[in-house]
Structure 1
Amino acid sequence: MIVVLGGGPAGRMAAIRLAAAKKEVLLVEPKGKESGIGGQCLHFGCMPVCALNDLARMIVLARRLHERGMTDTVPEFNFGKVMEETLAVQQKIAGILDHETRTAGVDVVYGKSGRVDGRRVFISDDEIDAEAVIVATGSRPNVPKIPGIDLAGVYTPHTLWGLRELPKNLVIVGGSVMAAEFAYIFAAFGSRVTVLARSGFVKDLDTHLRAVAIKELAGIDIREGTTVSGIEGTDKVTGVRFTSAGKEETIGADAVFLAAGLVPNAEMIAGVEKGPDGEIRVNDRMQTSVPGVYACGDVAGAPFLTPVARHEGIVAADNILGTERHMDYTKIPQAIYLAHDLAFCGSGNEGSASLALPGPAGPGTFWSVPYGDTGLAKIFADPATGEIEGMCAAGPAGGVIAGYLAFLMRRHISVHDFEEFIEVHPSTDGVYGLAKYASEILKKRTGE
């Protein structure tokens, strides 16, 4: 028997892969069956962000159409009902995942905790004789030690879904992708939003893409270089105290959302080597320091991305099955979901050629033209060979574009290959046109 601890993207994919090879697989999910499998992505991250972002984008578009006199009203919405319906859809997806996993031949056990001590595996208090174990116990929100952090009205990504009334004044603590996504959502819903970032806000984004993000978050008070010193209130949050540029300030708030990153769930795993943040250390085969014990997904540390977790699960399963497979972390596509999908993959090196242009008008951006925010297309290329080294795409399908282009970049595609590319029109994808243009420029430079 092979034991998989955790039913998130990493554990579930590993379990299905192993079951397909006719292995006996026990998947242990500590959540009850009523919550279901699916992990951080389904219950607290990607899917609920999709749910709320869909509504936020619809509201923003409705306001624009109303501003230009094309519609009579802007639709109102029931925030509490939105949260309830989001949960209902999440539960439906969890049921589909459960059926899919069991149909694949995996034995799923809910409501029991798993732990590992070296090579020994326990389900609750019972030791299990396992051929191998995969630890895929995921992560949880990082909750900083701040006075008042336990007050009512302070939420994490795991507790936000208990909120039923739209906050009037929301303070978001953090400068990450999650902070940006929820800032956009709640501002679109009508909350006054303040973001307190400890250092820079989405500071690792490409310069052009970050400029798009800041533009799409117009109206949100973004404070960088802040230190939160306390959350004020007696029974419920009334404000947040912070220091900025050496000066202490207090801002009123009826809700605080903590977007301060994730922490690996590895406390129940002993006897294996761990990193400074508690993450389980693995090699590129997802093997831990203990033979027969593998780890994948968020519990193995950054980058905390669902597609990466899924792939890590497959790599772990294949190595258990005797097929040597290595995890490759190069050219991983990512996206931030604001008014557009702000997607990116790779970057330029010193000496790289780069081109950037506004995104074209098309489905989802036609009515953005008057506001000058049709998105962005940007590529980085080797000036000698034309090989694409990185890209950015901001638009309705930016995430899809980044995914496919990342695949092509791993196969060393060049801008010159796009000379034969025929696009679907109309489209909001400006990357292909930029690649064709870059090909012309580079050929002129080299005299071809």
Structure 2
Amino acid sequence: MRHYDLVVLGAGSGNMVFGNEFAHLRTAVVEPSRFGGTCLNRGCIPSKMLVVAADAVQNARSAARLGVDVTVAHADWKAVRDRVFHRIDPLHAGALAYRRESGVDVYTEEGRFVAPKVLRVGDEQITADTFVVAVGCRPAVPDIPGLETVPFHTSDTIMRIDEAPISLAVIGGGFIAAEFGHVFDAFGADVTIVQRGPRLLMTEDEQVSARFTELAARRHRVILDAAVTSVKRRGDGVALTVTCPEGEQVVDAAMLLVCVGRRPNTDRLDATAGGLELDEHGHIVTDSAYRTSVPGVWALGDAVNHFQLKHVANVESRVVRHNVLHPEDLRTLTNRIAPHAVFTSPQIASVGLTEQEARRRRIPCLVSVRNYSDTAYGWALEDTTSFVKVLANPADRTILGAHIIGPQAATLIQPLIEAMALGLTVDRVARDVLYIHPALTEAVEQALLAL
């Protein structure tokens, strides 16, 4: 049985825990898949590289509004896919070699706890003074009759397919459905989205969610308030039986994408055998410093939090690195405001409270909505559907939340994120800052001035 000073489980954001400060210690990392985790290999990065190509197609298709006549001759799926993964795939071998060269033992088989701080990896057992658990999450697969009998994809697999499908059925209406609906529509697929709720992107602000649902329905077939009751093969594709307010209908498609959520990989780790306390969703319970129920075991990322955001996991890895090295001087996240973006068309970004959350929690708020079309750059875009929405506390005049739907949303929201993190008032952000004219940031400025 080998013993280490530090063992990190997971080489996504967990790989970021290592640093020169650990060079004198005996360390190891356990990663049964690819270094870089979900984000690099089957999540954020490859999907956004595909989204950029889809944006180019969509921009060309919609250029007529500007008086520009553009035709997309061909969107080459294989060429785009290969550009993406020929760049990403070599990184694993380099990262693995770098860790080994720097003195970190690398285990490439799955690890499972057999007792607190005792891990079985392959045919051997290892122990450590300190463990950091960062095993991430994976797509959840719903219990739908017949699903196990048909070929289907999740976000883990669909980006590596050889040909873009003629038609794509999507079960789920969250951010993965929104992004891949945009991607495969751009590459010529007839997309059908089946969503349980009354709108797509239900966790977004209601106004944003409603606007996106309206716009998505112009590009895709969107079936709302619907449940897939069975799935079966039909020819070379699949047939979904769908129950919705209009009755029962059948959706035929060449390919099926299932994206109904994600689940933490703690079951594969056998976390309970390791003495780790889990919540009702299977996430590891930690305190604010990321200590688990087992002394000397820390945890971070998607195995811990419900955000499923790489930027959150990255910050957590820095906090855990400090805390492992300085247990007498523990740090916590100074700011738990977690912004996010959905890289679909149109782009969406959000931070803080939504208006419906404020109503539900009876939090007083002022609300300001400003359309892109109220700005000069919005005129240049001939934009008629995008807007910025900001919520503020009427008592102390700080920003409670911000929600943007439209081009560059993920960038436009950043000054509002910073204002919330720093506790700045609406007045300061609106009046004490110069906004470039005629940039889209004027929509943010005008929303703040209205407040």
TM-score tier, shorter chain, comes to 0.7 to 0.9
Give the secondary structure class of the aligned counterpart of 1:290: coil
1:399 aligned counterpart, secondary structure: helix
Change (3 A) 1:356 1:75: same
Q: What is the rounded CA distance, in whole Å, between the counterparts of 2:137 and 2:67 in structure 1?
A: 47
* Equivalent residues in 2 for 1:259-338, closer than 5 Å: 259-267=259-267, 268=269, 269=271, 270=273, 271-321=275-325, 322=327, 323-327=329-333, 330-338=336-344
1:353 lines up with 2:366 in the alignment: yes
CA drift at 1:30: 0.9
**Aligned-partner Cα distance in 1 for 2:448–2:229:** 52
Secondary structure at 2:241's aligned position in 1?
strand
Q: Distance in 2 between matches of 1:361 and 1:48?
A: 34
Number of residues paired by the alignment?
A: 430
Is 1:14 the counterpart of 2:20? The answer is no
Q: Is the 8 A contact 1:334 1:402 kept in 2?
A: no
Q: Given the superposition, is the C-alpha separation of residues 191 and 310 from structure 1 closer, same or farther in structure 2, using an over 3 Å criterion?
A: same
Distance (whole Å) between structure 2 residues aligned to residue 234 and residue 341 of structure 1: 35
Residue deviations 1:27-74 (CA, integer Å, cap 9, x gap): 22112xxxx411111112111221111111100111223576634532
Residues 141 and 279 of structure 1: is their aligned pair in 2 closer, same or farther, counting only changes over 3 Å? same
CA contact (8 A) 1:378 1:431 kept: no
Q: Indicate if the aligned counterparts of 2:49 and 2:84 stay in contact, CA closer than 8 A.
A: yes
Residues 150 and 231, structure 2, Cα contact 8 Å, conserved in 1:
no
Q: Counterparts of 1:218-297 in structure 2 under 5 Å?
A: 218-233=218-233, 236-245=236-245, 247-267=247-267, 268=269, 269=271, 270=273, 271-297=275-301
Contact 2:388 2:447 in 1 (8 A): no
| Correspondences of 1:150-165 after superposition (within 5 Å) | 150-151=148-149, 153-165=151-163
> 3-state DSSP class of the match of 1:2?
strand
Q: How far, CA to CA, are the matches of 1:362 and 1:12 in structure 2? A: 44
Alpha-carbon distance, 1:257 to partner: 0.2
- C-alpha distance 430-395 of structure 1, shift in aligned 2 (>3 A): farther
TM superposition shift of 1:108: 5.7
Give the structure-2-normalised TM-score. Answer: 0.86
Q: Is the 8 A contact 2:435 2:442 kept in 1?
A: no
User: What displacement does 1:209 show?
Assistant: 1.7
- Report how far residue 156 of structure 1 moved: 0.8
Q: Secondary structure at the match of 2:321?
A: helix
Distance apart, 1:8 and its partner CA: 0.9
Once the two structures are TM-superposed, the CA of residue 292 in structure 1 deviates from its matched residue by 0.9
Q: Give 1:326 shift.
A: 1.8
CA contact (8 A) 1:381 1:388 kept: yes
Q: Distance between the aligned counterparts of 1:312 and 1:26, measured in 2?
A: 19
- Supply the distance in 1 between the matched residues of 2:324 and 2:244 (Cα, whole angstroms): 51
CA distance in 2, matches of 1:335, 1:296: 21
Distance change (3 Å), C-alpha of 1:354 and 1:94: farther
Residue 341 in structure 1 maps to residue 347 in structure 2: yes
Asked whether the 8 Å contact 1:213–1:338 carries over to 2, the reply is no
- Within 2, Cα distance between the matches of 1:62 and 1:2? 52
Q: Secondary structure at the match of 2:428?
A: helix
CA distance in 1, matches of 2:443, 2:63: 28
**Partner residue in 2 for 1:446:** none
The residue that corresponds to 1:60 in the other structure is 58
Is contact 1:28–1:109 with CA below 8 Å preserved after alignment? yes
The CA distance in 1 between the partners of 2:138 and 2:16, in whole Å, is 20
Question: What is the deviation of 1:431?
Answer: 5.2
Aligned AA for 1:256?
L
Moved more, 109-118 or 331-340: 109-118
| Counterpart in the other structure of 1:389 | 400
- Paired with 1:360 and 1:110, the residues of 2 have a C-alpha distance of 55
User: Alpha carbons of 1:363 and 1:331: their partners in 2 closer, same or farther (altered >3 Å)?
Assistant: farther
Relative distance call for 1:431 and 1:246 in structure 2 (3 A) is closer
Partners of 2:29 and 2:391 in 1: CA distance = 43
The change in CA–CA distance for 1:114 and 1:128 in structure 2 (over 3 A counts) is same
1:160–1:413 CA distance, 2 compared to 1 (3 A): same
Secondary structure (helix, strand or coil) at the match of 1:325 reads coil
List alignment gaps of at least 5 residues for structure 1: 440-448
Match for 1:429: what amino acid?
T
